[in-house]
Structure 1
Amino acid sequence: MNRDELQDLNEKRQEFRLILLELSADQEILKEPKKRSGFYLRLEKLYYAPDNEKRFRHFYSDIFSVLTQINDGDDQGSIDVLGQNMDILLCGYQAKNSDDEGKLIDISDQIRKLYDHISLDIARIKYSEKGDVEVSGQESIEKIRSQINDDESKIITLQDSVKEATVKADKMQKEYVSILAIFAAVIGVFFSGVGFSTSVLSNIDKSSIYRILLGVTILGMFLFNLLALLLGFIREIVVNKTWSLRVYIIGNLAFIIILTFIYVAWIFQVFGEASF
């Protein structure tokens, strides 16, 4: 192929791509008979040649590149509109014109082949897009599943945190109760001891030494048992352990010994003669 033939081929390929782009741009472009006739003339000029060997044959690559260009949005238009307009050209074409030698120009075969090739490539592109959508859909499903798994893990972690916070809150509540209990008990013991002590001391001049010792010992025994019960209750709340009975036994045994000593001292009048 010489330079002139190559240049002519490139010009026809450029015209061919331009025709396809124009047919894809507007669905109403072939509605007027004048415009349809204009496209038929351009196609006859493109495809027809008196010598069959020199007739233009479109390239599959040109069709695919134009369709891809349209479908990707690089140019305004639609491959569906192109398919519809090619169907109109195929159905409406009639050979009416003649060449300079009077031969009828008939490119119906070329239009039919062009229609078939365009329809085939449109179908391929649609099928490819469908496959891409399915793959994209599967990827989206996998992402959703992964997100659900992550959310479930976060929920489990949050539930554990809530349980831990609940345990801490219960423990703090017990501690607050313990503090309040200690405060209330201390106040109660203090005022009880003060009241009892006041009662005893107010009559100290009227009582014997033995009665005073007995009263003080009983007061101490009362306060000891009250405090022991209080501290045992607090220990049970805070650490869930009860005091050993040994504390009560030893303490009360000590007071019993003191009471016994006071009684013996009174019997033998150790601190002088006096009666209860």
Structure 2
Amino acid sequence: MNSPQSNYNELNKKLDEFLTSIANIQEKSISLEPISDNLTKDLRSDISNHVEPTDNIAKYQEAIGKLEEIYKGTNYRHSYSTITKYIISHREKCIFDKDQKILHIIAFNIENIFATIDKQDIYKDEDEFKNKVFKLKDHINLEILRIRDIFDAENKTKAELEETKLELNNLKKESKQLNDNIEKSENQLKNMQKEYITILGIFAAIVFSFVAGLTFSTSVLSNIDKSSIYRLVLIMCLIGLFITNILHYLYSFVREIHFGISNKDKNVCVNIWENTKDKFCNSYIFKFNIFVACIIVSTFLCWVFFENNKNDLRSNTKEINSNNKLELYATEPLNILRSEVK
């Protein structure tokens, strides 16, 4: 004689077989819309649309027979955990099947089976059996809805996780862009400091050059009476040439730093010599240098020419003076003798 526990386990096994059998009953007219909270109402609507007997009536009768073996003439009460265990066992199938078709099939078939039992006259007085089947149906639908909520929560969590990942990636991109901007700003600040130091150094050199040239010019002008006009002109031209060129190139360097001309010119390396030569030849400083150079050359030629003539004149004058002295020395005794004779 079997113990109550062994009978209970056997009936649990039969219930599991029953659930497996109804999960394999395919009904063509099952609606595969997402499972809603009004699951029972939707399933009844699907069943009421059948004007003809279902194609699986024989399978339903077989499933009803299995329910009779489980519930009729026994004190068996199915455990909610048994149904939960079976429904959860189809969880993996539902993950890969976004329509959750297996849950639709189970819910539809148990609803159809209960409707078949409720319509048949042989079960008219089997209230206890129908109540147990109804309770089974209710537990199955309840567990399906619970699984549906779990899936919805998982899908919502996954969607939020994907959205969070997307926002995180956007934040990373923005952070990288901000870091690049900060690094760029730091480099610009360092370059600005270098440019400021360079500009201050250039202006110091300008002031120094101007003061040095002015001091030298003052010294030259103070001794203007002690030197020739040619040397004075040459020295003044050299001073003007030096000061003007120094100031021009220092100011040009400041202008290039301010307008970034030097950075732009770094990218042009093909005809850099020709461009530089053309710019220099067409510049005002070049014309000024040519003008001063002409003055220097003219002054030098004049100095050579007039100094040579002056030296010749001086040498001739010295010869004349020496000849006059010799004549004077030669005639002086005669003059003395003449004076004595008189």
- Structure-1-length-normalised TM-score: 0.57
- Name the residue aligned to 1:129: 151
Name the counterpart of 2:299. Answer: none
Identify the residue that residue 63 of structure 2 maps to in structure 1. 39
Q: Deviations over 1:243-268 (max 9, x none)?
A: xxxxxxxxxxxxxxxxxxxxxxx9xx
Q: 1:115 and 2:114 equivalent? A: no
- Structure 1 residue 87 displacement after superposition: 0.8
What is the CA distance between 1:151 and its match in structure 2? 2.6
Query: What residue number does 2:102 align with?
Result: 78
- Aligned partners of 1:105 and 1:147: how far apart in 2? 62
In structure 2, runs of 5+ residues without a counterpart are 29-53, 195-226, 259-302, 314-342
Shift of 1:71: 2.3
Does the CA contact (< 8 Å) of 2:26 and 2:105 recur in 1? yes
2:79 is the counterpart of 1:59: yes
Q: Tell me which amino acid in the other structure corresponds to 2:172.
A: D
Q: Aligned residue for 1:7? A: 6
- Listed one character per residue, the Cα deviations across residues 48-75 of structure 1 (whole Å, up to 9, x for unaligned) are 11xxxx3322111110000111123399
RMSD (Å) for aligned C-alpha atoms: 4.3
Deviates more, 1:40-49 or 1:128-137: 128-137
Cα offset, 1:88, TM superposition: 0.5
Alignment of 1:14-25 (within 5 A): 14-25=13-24
Match in the other structure for 2:171: 149
User: Does the alignment pair 1:213 with 2:231?
Assistant: yes
The alpha-carbon deviation at position 132 of structure 1 amounts to 3.2
Return the alpha-carbon distance in structure 1 between the equivalents of residues 20 and 193 of structure 2: 78
Which moved further from structure 2: 109-118 or 160-169? 160-169
- Tell me the equivalent position of 1:202: none
> Is 1:95–1:107's contact at 8 Å kept on the other side of the alignment?
no
Instruction: Decide whether the 8 Å contact of 1:71 with 1:78 is kept in 2.
Output: no
Q: How does 1:226-237 map to 2 (within 5 A)?
A: 226-237=244-255
The structure, 1 or 2, with the larger RCO (C-alpha pairs under 8 Å, 6+ apart) is: 2
Change (3 A) 1:121 1:271: same
Distance (whole Å) between structure 2 residues aligned to residue 74 and residue 129 of structure 1: 9
Is the 2:71–2:132 Cα contact (8 Å) retained in structure 1? yes
Q: Which residue matches 2:318?
A: none
- Residue number among 122, 132, 135 corresponding to 1:96 in the alignment: 122
Q: What is the rounded CA distance, in whole Å, between the counterparts of 2:141 and 2:229 in structure 1? A: 124
DSSP 3-state at the match of 2:93: coil
Equivalent pair of 1:96/1:105 in contact (CA under 8 Å): no
Q: Residues 25 and 71 of structure 1: is their aligned pair in 2 closer, same or farther, counting only changes over 3 Å?
A: farther
Q: Whole-Å Cα distance in 2 between the matches of residues 120 and 159 of structure 1?
A: 57
What corresponds to 1:224 in structure 2?
A: 242
CA pair 138-24 structure 1, distance change in 2 beyond 3 A? same
Shift of 1:122: 1.3
Larger Rg: 2
Count of residues in Structure 1 that have an aligned counterpart in Structure 2? 202
